[in-house]
């Protein structure tokens, strides 16, 4: 199945790059003084929404959609976030968009459900370049858009160096980890699953310590996750996703199936991991 979404992503981003709102990235404009910044942030979100979702109206999500993030990040280059849908809303949601509004490329990820309820509880790790609103927008199968927001204090995450040695990270590229902290799934018992791809996921905004030139952007742009042969979800991701892209979701159903992750990066490298989720014990 084709995972190529690059052209579409580029189309989403191109008009954003053309707007003067997007000042040069980095630390220089990291600090906004709140609440004087509120009108500018609201305008930015209107522009982003227009670029990502077109003219379709959005509604406040209320209790249907919850976005969790630390008020102040421990590490701007790796900010854990969680997105949860209410039990009532989850079956009808077919996609969730995540933005980091002040980042150079604000659209961080799009999650697409392969089956109803697949997006009920998601986690990701993002880069935050400046104090910013995050937005999550849930798209329902009947075309409604439900939005929610969260403000995060962090700065410099897009240009921060990767952890450790880039060469070692490149050699590790494509290794995958899968974590089942509560054990394998069971019928009617959804369990959290976390998958991670070792990949430097360079943003294009980091600087090589030796040459002092910027490191080209190399990042995971798509993941497809299946269980027992059926698609669970697809994720389109951008440079606002932190190094070693790590995503969480929930899974229920019979144990013993094979969980399979296929990841593609922007250089068209393909990485694959699979695990048999054995019965508990």
CB of 181 to another protein, least distance (A): 3
The rounded distance, in Å, linking the Cα atoms of 136 and 121 is 13
- Copy the structure tokens of residue 236: 């389109």
Q: Does 181 bind another protein (CB under 8 A)?
A: yes
Name which of 55 and 211 has its Cβ closer to another protein. Answer: 211
Name which of 3 and 176 has its Cβ closer to another protein. Answer: 176
What is the DSSP-derived secondary structure letter of residue 92? G
Q: What is the DSSP string of 195-212?
A: EEE----B-S--B-TTT-
Name which of 52 and 160 has its Cβ closer to another protein. Answer: 160
CA 73 to chain centre: 16
Who's near 85: CB < 8 A, 6+ residues apart? 64, 65, 66, 93, 96, 119, 120, 121, 138
- Contact predicate 182/134, CB 8 Å: no
Among 70, 114, 174, 204, binds another protein (CB under 8 A): 70
Q: Does 194 bind another protein (CB under 8 A)?
A: yes
Name which of 133 and 244 has its Cβ closer to another protein. Answer: 244
The rounded distance, in Å, linking the Cα atoms of 116 and 253 is 13
CB of 210 to another protein, least distance (A): 9
Q: Which of residues 72-101 bind another protein (CB under 8 A)?
A: 74-75, 78, 80, 82
Q: Does 172 bind another protein (CB under 8 A)?
A: yes
CB of 249 to another protein, least distance (A): 13
CB of 189 to another protein, least distance (A): 17
CB of 80 to another protein, least distance (A): 4
Distance set, CA 152 to CA 31, 34, 114, 149, 221 (Å)? 12, 12, 30, 10, 24
Among 198, 226, 237, 250, binds another protein (CB under 8 A): 198
Name which of 7 and 212 has its Cβ closer to another protein. Answer: 212
CB of 131 to another protein, least distance (A): 11
Among 58, 86, 123, 149, binds another protein (CB under 8 A): 123
- Contact predicate 127/157, CB 8 Å: yes
Among 4, 17, 18, 207, binds another protein (CB under 8 A): 207
- Contact predicate 178/193, CB 8 Å: yes
Span near another protein by CB under 8 A; candidates 4-12, 20-28, 55-63, 101-109: 20-28
Q: Does 248 bind another protein (CB under 8 A)?
A: yes
Q: What is the DSSP string of 13-58?
A: HHHHHHSTTS---SSTT----TTTTHHHHHHHHHHHHHHHHTT---
Burial class (CB in 10 A: 0-12, 13-18, 19+), 73: buried
**What is the binding site for another protein (CB under 8 A)?**
26-28, 30-31, 70, 74-75, 78, 80, 82, 123, 125, 155-156, 159, 163-164, 169, 172, 175, 177, 179-181, 194, 196, 198, 207, 209, 212, 214, 244, 246, 248
């Amino acid at each position: 199945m084709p995972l190529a979404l690059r052209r579409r992503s580029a189309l989403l981003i191109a008009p954003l790059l053309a707007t003067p709102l997007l000042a040069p990235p980095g630390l220089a404009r990291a600090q906004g003084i709140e609440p004087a910044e509120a009108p500018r942030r609201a305008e930015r979100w209107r522009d982003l929404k227009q670029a990502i979702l077109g003219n379709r109206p959005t509604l406040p999500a209320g209790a249907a959609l919850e976005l969790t993030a630390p008020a102040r990040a421990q590490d701007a280059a790796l900010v854990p976030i969680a997105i949860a849908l209410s039990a009532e809303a989850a079956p009808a949601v077919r996609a969730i968009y995540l933005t980091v509004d002040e980042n150079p490329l604000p659209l961080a990820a799009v999650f697409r459900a392969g089956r109803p309820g697949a997006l009920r509880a998601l986690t990701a790790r993002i880069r935050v370049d400046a104090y910013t609103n995050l937005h999550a927008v849930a798209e329902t199968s009947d075309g409604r858009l439900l939005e929610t927001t969260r403000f995060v204090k962090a700065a410099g995450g897009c240009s921060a160096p990767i952890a450790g040695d880039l060469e070692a990270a490149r050699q590790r590229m494509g290794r995958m980890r899968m974590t089942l902290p509560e054990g394998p799934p069971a019928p009617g018992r959804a369990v959290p699953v976390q998958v991670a791809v070792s990949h430097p996921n360079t943003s294009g905004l980091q600087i090589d310590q030796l040459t002092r030139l910027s490191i080209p952007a190399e990042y995971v742009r798509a993941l497809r996750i299946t269980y027992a042969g059926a698609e669970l979800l697809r994720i389109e991701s951008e440079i606002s996703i932190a190094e070693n892209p790590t995503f969480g979701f929930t899974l229920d159903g019979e144990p013993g199936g094979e969980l399979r992750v296929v990841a593609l990066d922007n250089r068209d490298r393909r990485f694959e991991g699979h695990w048999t989720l054995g019965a508990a014990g």
